[in-house]
Amino acid sequence: MSITSKQAEPELGAKSLAVRTKLIDRTVKCEEVARRGQAALAQEVVQTVDLPHQIYIDSAEGPYLTDLDGNRYIDLTGGFGPNVLGNKPEPVEAAMTSQIKKGWHYGIPGAGQARLAELIKECAPAVDEVMFCNSGSEATMFAFRAARAVTGKRVVALFDGSYHGIHDYALVKADSKSDRSTPSSTTLGAGIPEEVSRDLMLMLPYRDTNAYELIRKHKDELALVVIEPVQSSNPRLDNQQFLQGLRDVCTECEVLLMFDEVITGFRIEYGGCQQYFNIKPDLVTYGKAAGGGLPIGVVAGCQRVMNTFSGADDTPGIFAGGTFSGNPLTMAGGIGMLEYLKENQEEVYPYLHEQGDRIAAEINEFCRSNNIPAQMMNAGSMMHLIFGGETIESSRDIDHSHYSLEKEFYLHLLGHNVIIPGIHLAFISFAHKPDVIDQVIDAFKRTFEDLRDDGLI
């Protein structure tokens, strides 16, 4: 199996030219909006795939997205994760519609915060209290601050390959040239002082027990160890042993452990990865699905840490707030979503795992038998196609030199009417019924065949 040097600069073969022509010809209105947007927007924040222009969505229903020109796609974007029930699910729409009639932003809280907090607390034994904010990034920012306040220590540890949002303490990455077991960290993008990665953060190796030794070594300055129990860069569920070891070492060293469940919460199981792996962290962050598709972040955890929000029991108080935090419309969306998921969890989650596993198994078998150097990794309904033949132990094993081939792949997939966004992380939902999943698998196979016909794989 190999990927030839053509992949760095793919030459356009007949299939590649044809798909571009097809996509451009059928997206005339999108092109017009793209032209207008370019003149006024500094950055088109949400990306799909690199057409000569962007595709804009006009409406969404169940497993489908429809663009401005009326083209319908099977949606594997999942709204970047929140849409566990698909697009515009009826229970969420009903809850939000009823709230809109009563107004959607009061400043003063409505009854929704208490109800949504109860729902989150009920499904997570680690959670005594909950605090709402507006995004996963805000949640991780508040959580790091709370941990620093309650412990009086400064350093927060993250894992190589993780993503925790867009604030300065989250935009710290492992230097890919550093040793795999003792990674050093660097900031991502301009504008973040290097002191952040040098003095205030510690990078740990993922799925590598040297992480435990580094925690022992740094325990006196470590306020918090943060992990995505399933990393979206390499989604997988074989992390039980590593996570249990991490829980044990954090307990031994009296260092707080946080699960960032912004993606995995209410997606891997109703009770997230805490339920799947049966492990209790000290702090948890949620977002995405918890708001039913409206912007939300949630900091949740044990009483001792959550006391920093109220200053109770003489705990050092942190500053927290936000104009839209806990707004009634988001609370209504979240309640509509979680009440449905709670009620139907025995149907929803086995289905998501079964269909996610089916996609991965069928695509991997197709790649194996056709000698195609790609593999589908999945953790239930969350999946990532990785190019290159390597065994993936962590994101360190992902060969990023195939990026232009990947972009070509997703362009052809769009030509087969399946949409996966530019981050290449795909989600299915409960609305993706088996016949839709069949179409997804078929589109993947046809896309691989396109690339093979053009000599790209």
Tell me the three state secondary structure of residue 191: coil
Applying CB under 6 A, does 135 fall inside the site for ligand PLP?
Answer: yes
Give yes or no for residue 440 binding ligand PLP (CB under 6 A).
no
Spatial distance between the Cα atoms of 259 and 239, rounded to a whole number of angstroms: 13
Residue with Cβ nearer ligand PLP (87 or 140): 140
Q: Are 171 and 331 in contact (CB under 8 A)?
A: no
Asked if residue 165 binds ligand PLP (CB under 6 A), the reply is yes
CA–CA distances in Å: residue 28 to residues 18, 33, 34, 303, 415: 16, 9, 10, 55, 15
The answer to whether the beta carbons of residues 124 and 279 sit under 8 Å apart is no
Is the Cβ of residue 75 or residue 228 nearer to ligand PLP in the bound state? 228
Q: Which amino acid is at 276?
A: Y
- The position carrying tokens 């073969």 is 13
- Based on the shown chain and the rule CB under 6 A, indicate whether residue 163 belongs to the binding site for ligand PLP: yes
Binding mask 223-252 for ligand PLP (x = CB under 6 A): -----x---x--------------------
Residue where the block lists tokens 């109800």: 115
Site map 139..158 versus ligand PLP, x via CB under 6 A: -x------------------
Q: Which of 78, 79, 136, 333 binds ligand PLP (CB under 6 A)?
A: 136
387 forms part of the interface with ligand PLP (CB under 6 A): no
Within 10 A of 88 (CB to CB), how many other CB atoms are there?
Answer: 16
Binding mask 254-283 for ligand PLP (x = CB under 6 A): ------x-xx--------------------
Which positions from 314 to 353 touch ligand PLP by CB under 6 A, shown as an x/- string?
----------------------------------------
Q: How many residues of this chain interact with ligand PLP, rule: CB under 6 A?
A: 14
**Pick 382 or 451: Cβ nearer ligand PLP:** 382
Report CA 22 to chain centroid distance, whole Å.
31
Residue nearest to ligand PLP (CB): 136
CB-based contact 33:68 (threshold 8 Å): yes
Tokens of 201: 């953060």
Asked whether 127 and 282 are in contact (CB, 8 A), the reply is no
In the complex, the residues that contact ligand PLP under the rule CB under 6 A are 135-137, 140, 163-166, 228, 232, 260, 262-263, 287
